[in-house]
Structure 1
Amino acid sequence: MSASLPIRRALISVSDKTGLLDFARFLTDHGVDILSTGGSAKAMRDAGLKVTEVADHTGFPEMLDGRVKTLHPKIHGGLLGIRGNAAHEAAMAEHEIAPIDLLVVNLYPFEETVARGADFETCVENIDIGGPALIRGAAKNHDGVTVLVDVADYAAVKLEMEANNGATTLELRRRLAATAYARTGAYDAAISRWFAGQVGETFPRRVVVAGELRQGLRYGENPHQKAAFYVGGPARPGIATARQIQGKELSYNNLNDTDAAFELAAEFDRPAVAIIKHANPCGVSVGDDLVSAYRAALACDPVSAFGGIVAVNRRLDGVTAAEIAHLFTEVVIAPEADDDAIAAFAAKKNLRLLLTGAMPDPSATGFTLRTVAGGQLFQTRDNGRITLADLKVVTKRTPTEAELADLLFAFRVCKHVKSNAIVYAKGGATVGIGAGQMSRVDSSRIAAWKAREAAEAAGLAESATVGSVVASDAFFPFADGLLAAAAAGATAVIQPGGSVRDAEVIAAADEAGLAMVFTGMRHFRH
């Protein structure tokens, strides 16, 4: 069989009619006969194009409210018959089955229907049956059929037909077949995920993860690794919805860190700024406005903030943007930005500015996924949030109102710090962060040490941890971590509790004059 096959007959049935008329006119100009159904046929006919209805081609009418129209031997036989196979060609001739050389199908908009919150019956009606069957059949027989499921590929088919006297090459047909199977796989994944939710299955027997390529990346975490960014699954404001206003191409590490920063900034109702480096916060603050929050966040660890990611949870203004522009920053992400903010970054050609249109809901349900050898680890999103009513005072001294506000703030930040996590906070801002250590006492000491360094660099007489509160993402297994925090000047502690040595830790807190509250909820982040 020739690797280059001419297109003489096409079947077109699309829900997304973008580019349809231009492509159909191109086919007609190249002598291609067009079969079609429903709205696609009407659109082409109204544009003056010659179209044969599938019902006229098969001799069998559409029925069951359009559920049965392309499910017919003359359609599937035309797609599946092997060209050049004598037995197949004889059977096709006997049953008057004409070959179909090109299939153009995109599926009922099931994902869009679910996304707009349609009811169960409407979602079910938007599950395409005939479309996936056609696509899979044509893709299987790609040696003799060209299958198009994405309007972005119209141009490639046109170029090949123009270059090959109305034919396509085997190389293109195989690439399009791979795209076709990926589309039906993603479609079925969306349906199965939705159906599992409808019947209350958090973790169904089988799960399929699907995504659409957003961009290829120059490399992964390191230059010897390949990487790409795919989007998919339930809609969530963030890097997947962002418009890049300016700056150079985003890297794998940029995307990972920016996602971490934006999710942290979303935790707070007041104007908030989160500065992230290597997926860990190096400064977080809330304030009366973004610029004051940014200054306080930067003061926590200005050394680590160099080359970091800045996320804000409000419309970015020009004053704040100008302040951010003083320091080398890789990415700034915000829901929106005013003209002055955009102008403030214009001279920073390499700085990427991302606008997402909205903030993610930190209390929303969802899943996170991590690969392991031979499988994946799924878990529900850590959407746990501690409020004042959840706190249990376990020491002789009760925290003051100001300490309680800082304790809740610090614990919310702790949720986004790699374990073992220790966060010192004062006045609605982090003043020291210890992340990712093998022992909690080391995290306490590192956070205090970094706070002292920041104070010395700012010319302050004492560390900002003096008079601060401290949060731990999990319980203190021994009193040493708590005592290290007391030595740094912390006056109040928030931790989950639950250690077999809780009594020992509480006694140490009482002896040091600390107030301590238990949350009953931990926030490990590995």
Structure 2
Amino acid sequence: MKDYRELKRMYRTIQEDPFPPRIELAFVNEGERYTLIYEKVSWTIEGEDRGLRYGENPDQPAAMYRLVNGAVSLGSVEVFADGAWLSSDVELLQSGKHPGKINITDVDSALHILRYLQERPCCVIVKHNNPSGVAVADSLAEAYTKAYFADRIAAFGGAVVLNRAVDRQTAEEIARTYCEVVAAPDYEGEALDLLKTRKNLRIMRISRMENLREFAFRRYIDFTSLLDGGLILQASFASSVRTAEDFFPAVAEHQGVRYEIERKPTEKELEDMLFGWFVETGVTSNSVIYVKDGVTVGIGTGEQDRVGVAMIARDKAYVKMADRLCWQRFGVSWYELDDETKRREIWEEVEEARGGLEGAIMVSDAFFPFRDGVDVGIREGITGVVQPGGSLRDHEVIQACNEAGVTMVFTGQRCFRH
């Protein structure tokens, strides 16, 4: 039997790294050979130069590599070692301990969303490769606060990634909470010193994040390893929707009858539709999310059926709103509040506001196979829907929206993320 003290030690132990310092990957096509060269990444912390602490779990050795040389063109995918690194070139301003694989991949997941949201200050908080909260605002501190309270509980121990240099006010807000990672293009004035008061916080600077727009619609080669050592390669996802003008009104035909969405989106709805679609591209499928006023309200991730994940996102919106009110008023979580009168009052307020879903936009990463999925959102008072379209029953979904006065747009593109 293991000593119980070993359980804590395993999270502080750096796994021995068996991986080579350099990897060369050759693509051979009709006599032509293209080679990509990767070099292992490491950091010097307290005099010890090492790479990743461990992989997804403490007993999994891991290494991270950055592409340093070579060029490959495979159809629409062009890979160039131009030094425009992001996640593979983080600068550790404070670490406490060497980062693990999950720290890096959580930051990278946030960047997949942030690359589309560069026009305004934005914060993405990620936990286990999925956003717990995303928000845009007029200031970085406001964006962080809104993203944090979108799901305060899930944000605990997450990665906070911001698209602007962190100022003092934002640093003060972050330092009041517990997160494992903060990543940003830079840190202003006293902001870094404030964050360093959290001794084990991994503070990362990704200076090239200021050029994140360049990655918005750029593809790369995505590798998936199989159990038997095989590989699946694919071109990475890039959104075909770049502006609200790329959406098109929901239209379908069934048995010779044409069905069209009756109400066009307002400008405000289009803003949330675009924001919601960009966030949805970074959520594990099957997924449905709700957004309102540039903030995520409910995020449903990784489910097998669409109506089920629509309900999960709805239920999360209710509970997260209850927790937010409870924390702001009484300083305890919804799960810790033991005053039944206060609990009843808060829940009545949440129900009256429909969990904050009234007036929200519902976003789906794939088409709705039946109308039951959109009906979940319609019952909560959503005003708009974003989805790829292409279902045999699109006409039923259009009918459901028209009956409720809900607008809907198609993207013409699915954004599954596995």
Task: Give the TM-score of the pair, scaled to structure 2.
Answer: 0.76
Percent identical pairs in the alignment equals: 38
Q: CA 1:236–1:438 in structure 2 vs 1: closer, same or farther (change >3 Å)?
A: farther
1:428 aligns with 2:294: yes
The answer to which structure has the higher helix fraction is 1
Secondary structure, aligned partner of 2:161 = strand
Offset of residue 375 of structure 1: 2.2
Secondary structure, aligned partner of 1:365 = coil
* Match in the other structure for 2:38: 211
Secondary structure, aligned partner of 1:329 = coil
Offset of residue 422 of structure 1: 1.0
* Match in the other structure for 1:349: 199
Offset of residue 339 of structure 1: 2.5
Offset of residue 204 of structure 1: 9.6
* Match in the other structure for 1:383: 238
Can you give the 5+ residue segments of structure 2 that lack an aligned partner in the other structure? 1-17, 43-50, 69-80, 251-260, 326-345
Mapped partners of 1:232, 1:489: distance in 2: 48
1:262 aligns with 2:86: no
- For the 8 Å contact 1:217–1:227, the answer to whether it is kept is yes
- For the 8 Å contact 1:244–1:352, the answer to whether it is kept is yes
Mapped partners of 1:208, 1:330: distance in 2: 36
Which structure is larger by alpha-carbon Rg, 1 or 2?
Answer: 1
Q: Deviations over 1:137-161 (max 9, x none)?
A: xxxxxxxxxxxxxxxxxxxxxxxxx
1:475 aligns with 2:329: no
Secondary structure, aligned partner of 2:87 = coil
- For the 8 Å contact 1:425–1:469, the answer to whether it is kept is yes
Offset of residue 224 of structure 1: 2.3
User: Of 43, 65, 68, which aligns to 1:230?
Assistant: 65
Query: Where do 1:328-347 residues align within 5 Å?
Result: 328-347=178-197
- For the 8 Å contact 1:475–1:498, the answer to whether it is kept is yes
Q: Which is further off, 230-239 or 487-496? A: 230-239
- For the 8 Å contact 1:260–1:416, the answer to whether it is kept is yes
- For the 8 Å contact 1:241–1:357, the answer to whether it is kept is no
Offset of residue 365 of structure 1: 2.9
Mapped partners of 2:280, 2:121: distance in 1: 18
Q: Which AA in structure 2 matches 1:229?
A: M
Higher RCO structure, 1 or 2 (CA under 8 Å, sep 6+)? 2
Mapped partners of 1:412, 1:205: distance in 2: 38
The answer to which structure has the higher strand fraction is 2
- For the 8 Å contact 1:493–1:515, the answer to whether it is kept is yes
Query: Where do 1:308-457 residues align within 5 Å?
Result: 308-359=158-209, 360=212, 361-372=215-226, 373-386=228-241, 387-394=243-250, 395-457=261-323
Secondary structure, aligned partner of 2:316 = helix
Secondary structure, aligned partner of 2:64 = strand
Q: CA 1:211–1:480 in structure 2 vs 1: closer, same or farther (change >3 Å)?
A: same
Query: Where do 1:9-408 residues align within 5 Å?
Result: 186=24, 189=25, 210-215=37-42, 216-232=51-67, 234=81, 235-248=83-96, 249-268=98-117, 269-359=119-209, 360=212, 361-372=215-226, 373-386=228-241, 387-394=243-250, 395-408=261-274
Q: Which AA in structure 1 matches 2:218?
A: A
Secondary structure, aligned partner of 1:232 = strand
- For the 8 Å contact 1:411–1:423, the answer to whether it is kept is no
- For the 8 Å contact 1:299–1:431, the answer to whether it is kept is no
Q: Which is further off, 274-283 or 236-245? A: 236-245
For the aligned residue pairs, the C-alpha RMSD in angstroms reads: 2.3
- For the 8 Å contact 2:285–2:302, the answer to whether it is kept is yes
